[in-house]
Structure 1
C-alpha cells in the first residue's frame, strides 16, 4: 500500500484529507515542516500533501529543502491562496501539482492517483535505463564491450548528482553524446543544456562568449549580451575541448567553479550562476600541466569524476553492432533496407577508424547513398577502409611527396602546398583559424586553398574553422 504524508497545521484539514484517502492509502501526518522533516525518513512516503501556510518554516521553503536533499518524492501543494504567483513558484521549486482549498474530494483522489502512477512509471523507466546501460546502451550511444559498459555505468551513476564530470577520449568517440545523456538523466534535465567548443572559438572571443558583456565593453558591443554560463544557469554547460582553452580564460572558469559567480566583460558586479559543468578533451591534461599549458588547480576541479571513452580500435567487437545501428538510421532516412555484405563487414571490422565512431557513421552514410541496392559491397566503401590505410597516415607531413622530385613547376608547387599545409594543420589539430594565424594567411584564404587542393581532415571530419 502506498504511503501519503499530509503536512498541514490545521487538525480539521488533516482529518478531511485522511478520510478522503485512507481507504486506498496508508496515511501519515505532520503539523509543521519541522515534524515533516522527522517523518520523511521514518515514513518513506510515496507522495506528500503539503500546505503552503505553516507555522515556522512555510510550505514553499520546506519544498525547497526537500529538493535540496536530493529527494524526488512527488509533492502536491495544497493552499487556500488562489494566486498564480504562489502556484508558479511552487511548480518552479519542484512541486508536481497545485490544488486550491475548496476542491472536490473526487478531484483530490484523481490528482493523487495520477501523481502516484506517474511516479511509478518514472521508477520503471529508471530501472529500464539502468538495465539498458548494463546491456550496452546509454541514450543514443551503444556498445557491449567491457570498456563501453564501464563508461556507461559510471555515467549513469554520476548523472543524478551535481558533480563536475571530465570526459576523456579521442575526437569522434562520442564525448558530446555522453555529456548530453548525463544531462538528460539529471535533475536539471528540464533546464538548459549549453555546449561550447572551446577549440573552435578564437582567444579574442571565448571570454565574451562564456561570460557575456555589457553595452560599450568594447568596440562593437552595441548592447548587453548574456554569456554561455549565464544562459546555462539552472542547467548544464558542456565545455568541449577544454584542453585548448587559454590560461587567462582557465583562471576565470576556475573562479566560476569555486564561487559560482561570473562577471560580464565591462561589468562591475558579479552575477550568481547555478550551473553544472561537464567538460571534455582529447588531450592528456596531466602532460599539458607539466608543459605549463593547463592549470593544475582547474584540472582537479574539473575531474571530480572522470569518464574515459576508448577509441574504436580498442573495442572492435562493437563495430558490427554500431554498423548495424548506423545502417538502420541511414536506411530509414533514405527508404532503404541497407546491409553490409560479408566481405564489406570484414573490411569495416579490420579497419582502425582513426576518426572513431564519427568516421564510421559518415563512411556508412556515404556507402548507403552510393550503393545501387540494399546490399553494400566492398566496392561501395571508402578506399581507405578497403585498403586499410588511414587518410591521416597517407597525408602525414613526413611521408607525403613534397614535390621536390617533380620536373614540372606547377605540379611541384601543388605537392609542396599539400604537404606543407597538411603538416601545419596536423600540428594545430586541424583548426583552420589557428593554422591561418600561424602561417600568415587570412582564414578565408586558407579555406579556399584547402578546397582547391582537396585537403580534408583525417576521418573525413569537418574542419574546425573558428
Structure 2
C-alpha cells in the first residue's frame, strides 16, 4: 500500500509512541510524535495533519478521559478538517464511544493488536479523505447555489400589484403548500418559483426545473421517473428521474398546461402517492418533494373544456400566484430598467445611460414579451450605445418585433378592445377622461367595457 498523508501521535508513553511509529510508518508520508500535549497548540500552528492519534489520559492516575476530550476539542477548533482517532485502555471504551459522538472517527486499544491498529487507522484515514471530499463538494455546491441565486435574482418592483405578490410569496414560502404560478411569458414565473424555494425550509437542498413543454410524450416517464437498465433499447444503465433526484428539495414544473391528459394522469399518481416507479421496475421509490408549477395558459378554461384534469388542477393549486403583465404595472418599468441597466453595465464593463426618448419609449411600449423583453432590449442598448447614451434607435435596431403603434392584427374586435384597455389603464380607470381620449361618450364606453368583458382586476 502506498504511503499517504501526515500523522501525529500524542501519548505520554514513549515506548507506545515508538511502537506506533514503527507500526504505521509504512503507510504515511510523515509521522510526528508528541509526548507532551501542552506543545500541541504550537505544533498545530506550524503544521497541518490529516490524522491525529490522541491518548485519552495524560496525568498520573487520571482515568476520566476528560483530558483527551479537552485536547480533541482544541484540535477541532484549530483544524476542523483533521481526523482524530483516540488511544484508550480497555476499561475506557465507553468514554471513547462518547468521544466519537463528539467528533472522533474511531479508537484503538492499548492492548497491542498490530493488525487491528493498522486496519483501524487506515479506515479512519479513508473516512477522513472521504469527509474532506464531501466538504469540498458541499462548498462547491454552496458556491454554485450562490451563483445561480445571483443569476436568478428576483426584481419585484414598486407597484401595488407586485407588493401583493411579494407578501404572498413570503407567506407561502415557509409552508409546504403546492403553488401554481400563472402569468404570461416573460413575467418572471421561474424567478418567483426560485424565490419561494430560496425562502423555504428546503433552501439548502436542490431546486429542479422541469420544462414540460420541451419533453415529448414518449420521453415523459423516463425523464421524470427514471429507468432501470434494459428497460428499453438505449437503457444501458440505471438512471434516476428528475423527480427522484429532487427528493428533499423543490420540483418546478414549468409549462404544466402543455401536458396531455395521459401525462397528467401519470403525474397525478406521483403527487398523490409521493412515490415513483422507474421504467422497467416494479418497486416504488418514495420521494419527498415540494411542487411549484407554472403556466401561461388559462387552466380554469382548460378544466371546463376537459383538456386539463380537475383533480390535478386542485392538487397543484393550494396557493395560486397571479403575475401581472408588465403593461399593467408601468410604474415598475423605470425601476426595472435602472436595475437591468446597472447589472448589464457591470457585465459588459460599460457606463451608459438611457436617453429621454429611450425612457419614454420603454414607458409606453406594450411589452408583449414582458420583463424578459425589457431586459433583452436594455442589454442590446448597452451593447450598441455610443457616446455613453442609449438612444431610441439602439433599442429598435435589428429587431424583428413590431413596437407600439404598429398594427399586430387587423381584427377590429381585438384592436378596439386593446385600445380601450390601454386607455383605461393609462388613465387609472378614470372613465370620463378615457371616454374623452377615445372620442366617445361615457355611456358608450360603459357599453363597450361590458361587451368586451374588460375588468379592472
TM range (shorter): 0.5 to 0.7
For the residues of structure 2 that align with 1:84 and 1:216, how far apart are their CA atoms? 44
1:377 aligns with 2:391: yes
**Aligned partners of 2:258 and 2:98: how far apart in 1?**
53
Q: Aligned residue for 2:162?
A: 148
Per the normalisation by structure 2, the TM-score is 0.56
- 1:170-227 CA deviation, whole Å, 9 max, x = no partner? 0100000110110011110000110011001111112211111111111211111101
* Residues 386/220 of structure 1: CA separation in 2 closer, same or farther (3 Å cut): closer
Task: Tell me, yes or no, if the aligned pair for 2:366 and 2:403 is still in contact at 8 Å.
Answer: no
**Which TM-score applies when normalising by structure 1?**
0.55
Deviation of 1:142 (Å): 2.5
Say if 1:369 and 1:283 are closer, same or farther in 2 by CA, change over 3 A: same
Q: What is the aligned partner in structure 2 of residue 197 from structure 1?
A: 211
Indicate the residue corresponding to 2:181 in structure 1. 167
Alignment of 1:421-460 (within 5 A): none
For 2:194, the equivalent position in structure 1 comes to 180
Specify the alignment match of 1:81 in structure 2.
Answer: 98
Q: Which runs of 5+ in 2 are unaligned?
A: 1-95, 106-151, 413-457
CA distance, structure 1, for counterparts of residue 302 and residue 196 of structure 2? 26
- Asked if the contact 1:328–1:338 (Cα under 8 Å) also holds between the matched residues in 2, the reply is no
Q: Which residue of 2 aligns with 1:291?
A: 305
Alignment of 1:172-321 (within 5 A): 172-321=186-335
Q: CA 1:203–1:389 in 2, change beyond 3 Å: closer, same or farther?
A: farther
- 1:335 maps onto 2:349 in alignment: yes
Matched, 1:388 2:386: no
The change in CA–CA distance for 1:221 and 1:380 in structure 2 (over 3 A counts) is: same
Residue 325 of structure 1 and its aligned partner are, at CA, apart by: 0.5
Contact 1:183 1:236 (8 Å CA) reproduced: yes
DSSP-derived class of the 2:380 partner: helix
CA contact (8 A) 2:352 2:385 kept: no
CA contact (8 A) 2:179 2:319 kept: yes
Kept in 2, the 8 Å contact 1:347–1:386? The answer is no
Q: Describe the superposition over 1:347-371 as per-residue Cα deviations: whole angstroms up to 9, x where unpaired.
A: 1100011000000000110111011
Alpha-carbon spacing, 1:142–1:248, altered in 2? closer, same or farther (3 Å): same
SS in 2 for 1:360: helix
State the distance in 2 between where 1:278 and 1:387 align: 33
Residues 386, 397 of structure 1: alpha-carbon distance in 2 compared, 3 angstrom cutoff: closer
Q: Secondary structure at the match of 1:266?
A: coil
Q: Tell me, what secondary structure is at the counterpart of 1:381? A: helix
Q: Deviations over 1:367-418 (max 9, x none)?
A: 110111321111211267895257xx65x6989xxxxxxxxxxxxxxxxxxx
**Corresponding residue for 2:370?**
356
Counterpart contact for 1:168–1:306, Cα < 8 Å: yes
Measured after TM superposition, the shift of residue 250 of structure 1 is 1.1
Q: Which runs of 5 or more residues in structure 1 are unaligned?
A: 1-78, 89-137, 400-466
| Per-residue deviation, residues 69-118 of structure 1 (Å, max 9, x unmatched) | xxxxxxxxxx9634479999xxxxxxxxxxxxxxxxxxxxxxxxxxxxxx
C-alpha RMSD of matched pairs (Å): 2.6
d(CA) in 2 for partners of 1:170, 1:360 = 14
Distance in 2 of aligned mates of 1:253 and 1:86: 43
Secondary structure class of the residue paired with 1:279: strand
Alpha-carbon distance between aligned partners in 1 of 2:102 and 2:211, rounded to the nearest angstrom: 38
C-alpha separation between the residues in 1 aligned to 2:193 and 2:276?
Answer: 23
Give the Cα–Cα distance (whole angstroms) in 1 for the partners of residues 304 and 154 of structure 2.
36
Q: What are the residue-to-residue correspondences of 1:1-80 with 2, within 5 Å?
A: none
1:103-142 equivalent positions in 2, closer than 5 A: 139-142=153-156
Structure 1 runs (4+) greater than 2 angstroms displaced: 79-88, 383-387, 396-399
* Alpha-carbon distance in structure 1 between the residues aligned to 2:405 and 2:246: 42
Query: Is 2:257–2:295's contact at 8 Å kept on the other side of the alignment?
Result: yes
Work out whether residues 141 and 178 of structure 1, in 8 Å CA contact, stay in contact via their aligned partners in 2: no
Q: Distance in 2 between matches of 1:297 and 1:188?
A: 26
Matched residues in 1 for 2:410 and 2:318: separation? 38
